[in-house]
């Protein structure tokens, strides 16, 4: 059976306030649940423009029509415009996602700070930002977050250690092929990783004419037997590419693909039998910079 784990990363104020309600409506219409990971604190998206110096960044901005996707205000937050608080601007959206039965967790306190500066952040800053994000999540939902997903698939040994101390059910910080326990250097961490196995829409959009129905067909063709994990974004699939995502999800469901949140995947995992795999920062096609990648040294036994 083909299983499609749905992971929604919410990076910006616009993605939260506009994209998430759109996705909640679509998922309710199709009777599908997903995992939502929320950036809890300030939207500092304007500071991300320093990525212009990374190879491939400008090409990706062009392919994905970043200005229309994110909007000019978003691209100025934290620089020429003050950085607005994301969840606190409308806490009801987070509560609505949880009330509708979706798996909800933490993406970050400050998405841009994590994605662009993680290796330089002191452990005390990581701990403080995690604490702020998880405390706010609990205050606004009445429940403790049981999972998190690192912005931009950026991890360090220190970030994995801080997550480990939270005793989460799972994390989804990596790109890879199947669930595993991460090893960084000689240290094995016991929090299961459920990696994104499929390319994101913004990594393939516009490449070789992949748009609209052709893009939906391409993503369908990538689904394999067993677990597939697709990461989507409130700013893209929740807004400008909502129609493409609707087509992809509808056709997948009609073809018998079982669509589930990552919490359902996590519940079926036994950490005692999960394979241990190294995690390394590697380049990935269609994305600027490097991302945390599962290194498969030996395929797990069937």
* Residue 49 pLDDT: 57
The span from the CA of 240 to the CA of 69, in Å, is 6
pLDDT in tens, 123-142: 999 999 999 999 999 999 99
* Residue 26 pLDDT: 98
Query: What are the tokens at 226?
Result: 């067993």
pTM beyond 0.85, yes or no: yes
Query: What are the tokens at 296?
Result: 């498969």
Is residue 295 within 8 A of residue 177, CB to CB? The reply is no
The span from the CA of 8 to the CA of 107, in Å, is 10
Is residue 295 within 8 A of residue 280, CB to CB? The reply is yes
The span from the CA of 235 to the CA of 103, in Å, is 19
Rounded to the nearest 10 degrees, how much is the dihedral formed by the CA atoms of 171, 175, 176, 179?
Answer: 10
Q: Name residues of the chain where pLDDT drops below 70.
A: 48-72, 80, 298-302
Rounded to the nearest 10 degrees, how much is the dihedral formed by the CA atoms of 61, 66, 67, 69?
Answer: 170
Is residue 194 within 8 A of residue 5, CB to CB? The reply is yes
The span from the CA of 255 to the CA of 2, in Å, is 9
Alpha helices for the chain (secondary structure H): 13-14, 20-29, 57-63, 66-70, 72-76, 91-99, 111-117, 123-141, 157-165, 201-204, 212-222, 242-254, 262-267
Place of tokens 């240290």: 187
The span from the CA of 28 to the CA of 245, in Å, is 14
* Residue 50 pLDDT: 47
The span from the CA of 300 to the CA of 179, in Å, is 10
Q: Residue 95: is it exposed, middle or buried by C-beta count within 10 angstroms (0-12/13-18/19+)?
A: middle
Query: What are the tokens at 279?
Result: 């995690």
Which DSSP letter does residue 51 get? G
pLDDT in tens, 203-253: 999 888 899 999 999 999 999 999 999 999 999 999 999 999 999 999 999
């Amino acid at each position: 059976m083909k299983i499609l784990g749905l992971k929604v990363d919410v990076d910006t104020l616009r993605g939260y306030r506009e994209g998430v309600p759109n996705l909640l409506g679509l998922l309710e219409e199709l009777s599908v649940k997903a995992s939502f990971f929320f950036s809890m604190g300030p939207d500092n998206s304007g500071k991300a423009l320093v990525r212009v110096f990374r190879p491939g960044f400008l090409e990706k901005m062009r392919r994905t029509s970043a200005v229309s996707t994110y909007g000019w205000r978003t691209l100025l937050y934290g620089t020429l415009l003050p950085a607005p608080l994301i969840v606190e601007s409308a806490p009801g959206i987070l509560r609505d996602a949880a009330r509708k039965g979706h798996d909800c967790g933490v993406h970050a306190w400050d998405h841009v700070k994590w994605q662009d500066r993680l290796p330089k952040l002191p452990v005390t800053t990581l701990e403080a930002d995690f604490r702020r994000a998880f405390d706010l999540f609990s205050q606004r939902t009445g429940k403790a977050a049981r999972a998190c997903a690192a912005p931009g698939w950026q991890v360090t040994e220190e970030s994995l250690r801080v997550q480990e101390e939270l005793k989460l059910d799972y994390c989804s910080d990596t790109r890879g092929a199947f669930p595993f326990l991460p090893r960084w250097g000689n240290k094995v961490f016991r929090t299961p990783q459920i990696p994104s196995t499929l390319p994101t829409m913004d990594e393939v959009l516009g490449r070789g004419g992949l748009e609209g129905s052709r893009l939906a067909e391409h993503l369908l063709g990538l689904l394999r037997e067993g677990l597939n994990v697709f990461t989507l974004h409130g700013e893209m699939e929740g807004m400008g590419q909502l129609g493409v995502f609707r087509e992809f999800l509808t056709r997948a469901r009609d073809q018998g693909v079982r669509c589930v949140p990552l919490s359902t995947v996590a519940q079926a995992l036994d950490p005692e039998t999960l394979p241990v795999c190294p995690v390394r920062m590697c380049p990935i096609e269609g994305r600027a910079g490097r991302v945390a990648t599962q290194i498969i040294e030996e395929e797990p036994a069937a």
